[in-house]
Amino acid sequence: MSGRARVRARGIACRPSTPEIGRTQASPSPASVDVSDKDTPSSSGYMGTSRISQKNKDGVSSGDVGCTFLGRGGRIRREFMDLGACTREKLAHVRDCKTGSSGIPVKLVTNLFNLDLPQDWQLYQYYVTYIPDLESRRLRIALLYSHSELFNKAKVFDGAILFLLEKLEEKVTELSSETQRGETVKIVITLTRELPSSSPVCFQVFSIIFKKILKKLSMYQIGRNYYNPSEPVEIPQYKLTLWPGYSVSVSQFESSLLFSADVCYKVLRSETVLEFMTDLYHKTGLSSFTQACEKELLGLIVLTRYNNKTYRIDDIDWSVRPTHTFQKRDGAEISYVDYYKQQYDITLSDLNQPVLVSLLKSKRNDNTEARIAHLIPELCFLTGLTSQAISDFQLMKALAEVTHLSPLGRQQRLARLADDIQRNKDARFELETWGLHFGCQMSLTGRIVPLEKILMQDQVCQPMSAADWSKDVRTCKILSAPSLNKWLIICNNRAEHVNESFLNCLRRVGSSMGFNVDYPKMIKVQEDPAAFLRAIQQHVDADVQLVMCILSSNQKSYYDSIKKYMSSDCPVPSQCVLTRTLNKQGMMMSVATKIAMQMTCKLGGELWAVEIPLKSLMVVGIDVCKDALNKEMAVVGFVASINTRITRWYSRCILQRTTTNVADCLKVLMIGALNKWYQYNHGLPARIIVYRDGVGDGQLKTLIEYEVPQLLSSVAESSSNTSSKLSVIVVRKKCVPRFFMEMNRTLQNPPLGTVVDSEATRPDWYDFYLISQVAHQGTVNPTYYNVIYDNNGLKPDHMQRLTFKLCHLYYNWSGLIRIPAPCQYAHKLTFLVAQSIHKEPSLELANSLFYL
Amino acid sequence: MPNRKASRNAYYFFVQEKIPELRRRGLPVARVADAIPYCSADWAKPVSTPLRRPGMLVSKQSFSPPDISSLSLDSDQALLGGIFYFLNIFSHGELPPHCEQRFLPCEIGCVKYSLQEGILADFHSFINPGEIPRGFRFHCQAASDSSHKIPISNFESGHDQATVLQNLYRFIHPNPGSWPPVYCKSDDRPRVNWCLKHMAKASEIRHDLELLTVEDLVVGIYQEKFLKEPSKTWVRSLLDVAMWDYSSNTRCKWHEENDILFCALAVCKKIAYCISNSLATLFGIQLTEAHVPLQDYKASNSVTPKMVVLDAGRYQKLRVENAGFPHFSSSSQGQGSNTATGDYPSGVKISGQNNSVRGRGITRLLESISSCSSNIHKFSTCETSLTPYMSQKDGYKSFSSLS
């Protein structure tokens, strides 16, 4: 059991309130724990490239095909791409109604606000060309805006595409204007599309409108979110400053257009890079200063207050001083000192500081040379948290106190934002120009589905709390456990005294849960990975069932080398335990219980089950993530149940070379799982339900067009006559809506098993939200399920309850978890492979949960 | 738990066969597992068995080698004696395509190898990567930190590129004539090739070296020997093995001392080990110290006697011996004393010179065991094959005379 892996696994189960501070833009890197906000540095914010070769020859269209309006940085915002996938219309059984009915109704408040539009609201999209062609976007905009025809109209223009609320008289309008240099430029404005308010393009326009509005509330956009630097929260003892902010979006929900807002925080350090450098200088002295500086600073994200932009420090140029000059875009030479004075009215105090170098991301995807930005340390504030800070418990606690808002606190912040938008004159004016009306906060009715009973070997247990039933099942026997007769403990010379008592403990808890543990062989080795490996190589033979390594330090290389060897070269289940864990006084019993459970699973045992009425059902979890060493490799984890009780699992992992998180190899995996099922059940499963995790924004269509066919064809191939029915469900741990339950005149997190399948869902999808985790601190985050393919024809009610039941079956945690167990297993497997093994684990282990 | 049926290998049947005999000797053996301790010594006797203990080492790949004796010996000899070089060069990351400089070479490793003799010599050097392109320091540092961890600046051990290349060429090609084949893994090939060209440019030495891939080499050897093509997956899994990651005398000194896995020399040596372990054994070659790091498999771990029922009798016996005669284990090793000869450039180690000992480690162990345990007569059949070895190591003689 590695500390890292454990922390993550637990983090999912018992501290489920989301990382609400500044969302990472790209797929979250495993290293950035909850609070660190490592936004990809946003380079100079000019929006969209003006060269869009979209020429709609067919004249005016009103469809949404090929929307080309580009978001920040020239990309189509990814979440809008998903909206084009209309899966519900293909699913006959939910076309009319996708809501369930079982369970107790519960009134919920959301973080969604109504946004009212007039009935006939329409947007007109124009394409603007300049003759002669102009390169400068700024000039293009200035020339267009100076015309009286457009002067007072509601408009959005990115340099090429113009959106207007009112239609121009002519389909093609020609204007001409004169530049400062006296050139005459002809501007041709051609109507290309008329867009209804439900078009995804409109949501992008709404986003731009709200961007303007939030700017008027003196909030700054950093990355994707908006922050308010004028009301910082200081944590002086750790030199931290938090900027409160919001992430907002406008989108079409089930029945209406809704504005959603969530609270987030930007973590800044209250010191500048220059102060940090000075500190470091006093600590290290001159001789190793530059090296220490580079070691500490490179890779950090800094924020420059004068323009509120973030940059990554890629290099430090020690030869350049602020007094040196550089060439501005217009060719004039100016010194850094003068530039900051002129441009921002900032006087630099230290004229001997070096400059930081940041590579700016090329906006076009061509291979032009990267541009470089020089930054003055004095003006750069460090952002995010160092790994040192993240491991500081007290610091994280102090941070959590601010950032983990209770439902009530969150609601207050949301109410304030709504209030600000409605009261601010400029904001209101902007809304009115576009014909929008900012409405009230939406509430809806959810349902609480009944809680599940846990089936043990000879008794059924109704847990006191579904979040953690470890106490309830302590005296119960587990479903099945192989007897552990021949196993090894490898430890270093110093750990002996611990082992004796631990072993006794393990045997005792083992016997009470029905897991027979014999005495192991003890092998004592030197404390280094080589010695551990050598001992394993020497002593493991065909009969050894399990190897336990007692490690004295949490060093990754130990764990990695053992896991790598034990899962591919010499496939035997292995269990790593830290000496520190065994030294915890008074915890021995619970530690031993936990380890005994893990060991049982690794040997292929089953711990508990829940009542699942569907017979002959196979559930599958798929997760995809990037390899930690080689970013070009994607790790695809696939875990399928192989018995009707859904207690035994077949787990496989394949590495594939790709840049996206889309799986290529599902056919091999699915056929493998079906063969395994056939072996155990002498037939094929009647139904297969696949839960797919690890899907990024904008990948939905690819999934439908690429992954679902792979699964379908493998199901079809495996049987000649009646093939199994298949459902594919996309699982998202992050979603926009939040739900609060009103109770005793205050707000609380909704209870476990709350299902929301109306109002906050999308009209084109068969989707629902399920709360299957408890937040002890902060606000609970619902899990979002989107059924993208379904020929099982299960009622929505049954689909929701089945999903909830599956959240009970994760054997590494005796309680509910936030995603269905197969997904969590697949995640655990991909995590082990991506972090430690970096190659496919041996198939001999596929029948056990060797990666727990 | 692995499928037990699948692991019924030759050893299993060997032990099964021995059971009646053991029972006759009055030993309490009910099943195969019980009999293992009594059989391992006998199992080790036939000299042509490969090093790996059943079910333990890598290749469990199921292919059946054709009957070796039916193939011609001449081509074998040519193949066995043939000398290959394995080369790798590490870089501080890879820079994006628009940069002129794509790699920053920082470490080079090369070994000279033949199937018959194993690793004959090795060459290792750190390279001064030169100036890091402005703005890419973080990129390079991050790449280095995630793999070989060689500092990107202020690293004293880095030699300048011209010298390193010169030394490499002297190592590979000391005499005029045709160049021997040089191999690296296919994944590394673009990088190694780029680095060689780059270094050649810097030093104005002509680049005569042709870089081939190890995968092709393995396929070639296999084809030549067994006249059929192995699967690509088999070749790849043969070369991608973790078991020698921490073996002694595999990484360069710096990486060994800092306990970092990624080392250019280690990559080359591990290729040699993998080929030795899986291919050389198919030719019936006895694996030596030069083929795989055998010394690691001598008893070096202390085992708590009271808790352990050891399954391999030889280790247990040896441990007892170890305790009694502490000099034994040290005398068997002539490691590390590098006598660099004047002819070779810096960084080159000729392993043949100090590793004159040849023969299987296990046999040697058995020898030592047998000489002190009373059943020495059992090994009389092996005696002949071991004579050259015995004469060189008089340590054993004195040792056996003690018992």
Q: For B15-37, write each residue's pLDDT tens digit.
A: 777 777 777 777 777 777 777 77
Distance in Å, alpha carbon of B123 to nearest chain A alpha carbon: 23
The answer to whether the Cβ–Cβ distance between B56 and A545 falls below 8 Å is no
Q: Tokens 């493991």, residue?
A: A540
Q: Express each pLDDT in B191-210 by its tens digit.
A: 999 998 888 887 777 767 78
pLDDT at A25: 36
Give yes or no for B98 touching A (CB within 8 A). Answer: yes
Residue scoring higher pLDDT (B19 or B2): B19
pLDDT at B296: 62
Report, as an integer, the average pLDDT of B118-135.
Answer: 89
Residue scoring higher pLDDT (B44 or B219): B219
DSSP code per residue over B207-244: ----EEEHHHHHHHHHHHHHSSPPPHHHHHHHH---TT
pLDDT at A43: 35
Sequence-separated (6 or more) residues with CB below 8 Å from residue A692: A622, A703, A707, A728, A729, A730, A731
pLDDT at B98: 80
Counting residues of chain B whose pLDDT is more than 70, the rounded percentage is: 61
Residues 234-263 of B with CB under 8 A from A: 240-243, 245-248, 259, 261
Within 8 A of B147 by CB-CB distance, chain A residues are 629
Q: What is chain B's mean pLDDT, rounded? A: 68
Overall pTM surpassing 0.95 (yes/no): no
Nearest to B55 among A294, A541, A842 (CB): A541
Nearest to B142 among A299, A535, A568 (CB): A299
Residue scoring higher pLDDT (A389 or A518): A518
pLDDT at B382: 34
Measure Cα distances from B343 to A816, B346, B356 in Å: 70, 10, 19
pLDDT class of B297 with cuts at 50, 70, 90: low
Mutate to test the interface with A, among B144, B251, B296, B301 (most CBs of A within 10 A): B301
Nearest to B301 among A525, A541, A848 (CB): A525
pLDDT at A79: 66
Segments in A584-625 forming alpha helices (H)? 588-602
Report, as an integer, the average pLDDT of A181-202.
Answer: 84
A81 close to A66: Cβ distance less than 8 angstroms: no
B118 close to B274: Cβ distance less than 8 angstroms: no
DSSP code per residue over B337-377: -----TTSPTTEEEHHHH----S-HHHHHHHHHHHHSS-GG
Q: How many helices (H) and strands (E) does chain B have?
A: 16, 7
Counting residues of chain A whose pLDDT is more than 70, the rounded percentage is: 89
A397 close to A414: Cβ distance less than 8 angstroms: no
How many residue pairs from chains A and B have C-beta atoms closer than 8 A? Answer: 151
Counting residues of chain A whose pLDDT is more than 90, the rounded percentage is: 34
pLDDT at A528: 77
Q: Tokens 């058995």, residue?
A: B366
Tell me how far apart the terminal alpha carbons of chain A are, to the nearest angstrom.
8
Taking Cα atoms as reference points, which of A815, A396, A850 lies closest to residue A652? A850
Segments in A50-187 forming alpha helices (H)? 78-82, 137-145, 148-151
Q: What is chain A's mean pLDDT, rounded? A: 83
Report, as an integer, the average pLDDT of A479-496.
Answer: 87
> Is residue A532 within a helix (H) or strand (E), and if so which, with residue range?
helix A529-539
Work out whether strand A371-375 and strand A355-360 pair parallel, antiparallel, or are unpaired.
Answer: antiparallel
Q: Residue A748 burial (CB < 10 Å; 0-12/13-18/19+)?
A: middle
**Is the pLDDT confidence value at B376 over 60?**
no
pLDDT class of A44 with cuts at 50, 70, 90: very low
Cα–Cα distance for residue pair A83/A527, rounded to 1 Å = 55
Report, as an integer, the average pLDDT of A599-603.
Answer: 93
Cα–Cα distance for residue pair A39/A18, rounded to 1 Å = 17
Q: Express each pLDDT in A56-68 by its tens digit.
A: 333 444 444 334 4
Report, as an integer, the average pLDDT of A424-443.
Answer: 89
State the helix-helix crossing angle for A200-216 and A425-433, rounded to 10 degrees.
160
- C-alpha dihedral, A405 to A409 to A414 to A419, nearest 10°: -150
**Is the pLDDT confidence value at B357 over 60?**
no
Q: Which of A13-27, A348-362, A652-666, B142-156 has the lowest mean pLDDT?
A: A13-27
Q: Which of A39-53, A340-354, A437-451, B280-294 has the lowest mean pLDDT?
A: A39-53
pLDDT at A671: 93
The answer to whether the Cβ–Cβ distance between A316 and B137 falls below 8 Å is yes
pLDDT at A329: 77
The answer to whether the Cβ–Cβ distance between B308 and A521 falls below 8 Å is yes
Mutate to test the interface with A, among B138, B144, B239 (most CBs of A within 10 A): B138
Q: What is the DSSP letter of B271?
A: H
pLDDT at B44: 62
pLDDT class of B8 with cuts at 50, 70, 90: low
The answer to whether the Cβ–Cβ distance between A540 and B56 falls below 8 Å is yes
Q: Express each pLDDT in A760-784 by its tens digit.
A: 999 889 999 999 988 888 899 999 9
Cα–Cα distance for residue pair B218/B371, rounded to 1 Å = 40
Report, as an integer, the average pLDDT of A481-510.
Answer: 86
pLDDT at B304: 37
The answer to whether the Cβ–Cβ distance between B138 and A844 falls below 8 Å is no
pLDDT at A414: 92
Give yes or no for B61 touching A (CB within 8 A). Answer: no
The answer to whether the Cβ–Cβ distance between A522 and B142 falls below 8 Å is no
Report, as an integer, the average pLDDT of B93-111.
Answer: 88
ipTM reported for the complex surpasses 0.90: no
pLDDT at B348: 60
Q: Residue A391 burial (CB < 10 Å; 0-12/13-18/19+)?
A: exposed
A204 close to A80: Cβ distance less than 8 angstroms: yes
Measure Cα distances from A108 to A552, A698, A741 in Å: 49, 29, 5
**Is the pLDDT confidence value at A23 over 70?**
no
Report, as an integer, the average pLDDT of A452-472.
Answer: 87
Supply φ then ψ for residue A358, to 5 degrees: -130, 135
pLDDT class of B335 with cuts at 50, 70, 90: very low
pLDDT at A369: 65
Q: How far is CA A8 from the centre of its chain?
A: 14
Sequence-separated (6 or more) residues with CB below 8 Å from residue B200: B165, B206, B207
pLDDT class of B177 with cuts at 50, 70, 90: confident
Give yes or no for B154 touching A (CB within 8 A). Answer: yes
pLDDT at A290: 87
Report, as an integer, the average pLDDT of A573-598.
Answer: 88
**Chain B: residue nearest A356 by CA?**
B135
Q: What is the DSSP letter of A705?
A: I
Give yes or no for B141 touching A (CB within 8 A). Answer: yes
pLDDT at B295: 66
pLDDT at A77: 60
Q: Express each pLDDT in B65-91 by its tens digit.
A: 444 444 445 567 777 888 889 999 999
